[in-house]
Amino acid sequence: MNDLRKRLLYFALGAMVIYLGGDYLLHNYVDAPLEQRENRKSQLEKKIKKKKQELAESKEAARRLAVLEKSSLPRDTEIARSLYRTWLLDLVEKSDFQAAHVDSGPATSRKGFYESLSFSVRGKGSLSQLVKFLFDFYRAGHLHKIQSLNLTPLGKGGGLDILMTIDALVLPGAESKDQLSMVTSTRLVGGRLADYAIIVQRNMFGAGGESDASRQAFLTAVTRDSGAAEVWISLRGQDKLLKLQQGGQFEIGHFQGTVVEILEDDMIFESLGERWLLSIGEPISEAMALPPEF
């Protein structure tokens, strides 16, 4: 091999060494650090986005809580019990119930987040008197809910024996100390009592009426599998079980809704433009309407 060929061979070998060495240096000391930097940047951006979302959710929760606190009964449970019972008595009197009684039970603390006061109303009246009572009840903006309503026909005269149980809530941060909220609820679709005259015109206790499927649909469980929350709705009498995640839609009889939020022991669903809170063990027919701001 002559000298020229050797020099060319050494030159080619050197070029390969320089190329491979340069590629190694570029990959390990330039490209790799840049890639690591981009990965760290991406992770930090995700963390910042998550923190901003959590902050926004916290602010929204605080805003919702502030709205609910305006509707809460006074912070002192005894004052709250007395004022709310008086309000119920006044409502019963305006509705012209006969032989009416309003009783209250002990306060129940719910995990320290709020206290629940239970009341019972019993009396005799017509369907039109009951509709007036319910209209005034739901027009008031208190944090209250009718847990059960039992109606027993009295003969053929159209009279009813009325028994209902009511829960009213006291929040720790309630604005009022010694008076009930003056907030007016917007949960009613119609703003006038006359809008509900059709209820009185119907023979609710006549033969041939179909049963309300929503009264037989109970929220029975809230499960979480691999982080995905799911609610179970049992359709009693049909031997069916609906399993729904957030965003899931359901149709029960003439009732349609969409699951918008799943909590620990409750779910919030939307129906006809309103949001409703349903707790485990309750039928959909007894869901509590939430304020529009919630």
56-106 pLDDT, tens digit each: 666 666 567 666 778 788 888 899 899 999 999 999 999 999 999 999 888
Q: From CA 161, how far away is CA 205, in angstroms rounded?
A: 13
209 confidence band (pLDDT: 50, 70, 90): very low
Over range 204-225, report the average pLDDT: 70
Q: What is the pLDDT of residue 120?
A: 92
Over the stretch 232-241, which tens digit does the pLDDT of each residue have? 999 887 778 9
Share of the chain above pLDDT 90, in %: 21
The pLDDT of residue 4 is above 60: yes
Over the stretch 247-270, which tens digit does the pLDDT of each residue have? 999 888 656 789 999 998 899 998
Check if the beta carbon of residue 128 is closer than 8 Å to that of residue 151.
Answer: no
User: Could you tell me which residue, 58 or 286, shows the higher pLDDT?
Assistant: 286
* CATH entry, 213-289, from 3.90.1200, 1.10.357, 1.20.140, 2.30.30: 2.30.30
Check if the beta carbon of residue 167 is closer than 8 Å to that of residue 117.
Answer: yes
Q: From CA 56, how far away is CA 68, in angstroms rounded?
A: 18
Q: What is the pLDDT of residue 248?
A: 92
pTM above 0.75, yes or no: no
Domain residue spans of the chain: 1-70, 77-201, 213-289
Backbone angles phi, psi at 55, to 5 degrees: -65, -40
Homologous superfamily of the 77-201 domain (CATH):
Ribosomal protein S6/Translation elongation factor EF1B (3.30.70.60)
Over the stretch 16-65, which tens digit does the pLDDT of each residue have? 766 666 666 666 666 666 777 777 777 777 777 777 776 666 666 656 76
User: Could you tell me which residue, 184 or 122, shows the higher pLDDT?
Assistant: 122
